[in-house]
Amino acid sequence: MKLFCCLFLFVCSIAIAQQSPKIQVNGRVSSTMVNLEGVYVINLKTEQMVQTDKSGDFVIPAVKGDTLVFSMFQYTRVKVVLTDENLAGQKVIVTMLPVMNYLDEVVIKTYSHVNAVSLGIISSSQRSYSPAERKLKAASDFGGSGGASVGLDPLLNLISGRTAMLKKELEVEKKEKFIRQLEYMFEQAHFVGKLKIPLLYVKGFIYYAVENPKFTKVLETKNKVSIEFLLAQLAEMYKESIAVQTK
CATH class given for the domain over 20-95:
mainly beta
- The pair phi, psi for residue 29, each rounded to 5°, is -120, 130
Rounded to an integer, the average pLDDT of 90-100 is 88
Give which of 76, 68, 60, 67 is closest to 24, Cα–Cα: 60
Task: Among 122-126, 139-143, 178-182, name the most confident range.
Answer: 178-182
For residues 142 and 137, give the distance between their C-alpha atoms in angstroms, rounded to a whole number.
10
Position 96 scores a pLDDT of: 93
Rounded to an integer, the average pLDDT of 75-85 is 90
Return the half-sphere exposure (C-beta side, CA atoms, 13 A cut-off) of residue 184: 10
Rounded to an integer, the average pLDDT of 87-94 is 89
Residue 120 has pLDDT above 90, yes or no: no
Domain map of the chain by residue range?
20-95, 131-163, 186-245
**pTM value surpassing 0.85:** no
User: Residue 166 to residues 7, 98, 137, 170, 172: CA-CA distances in angstroms?
Assistant: 21, 25, 9, 6, 10
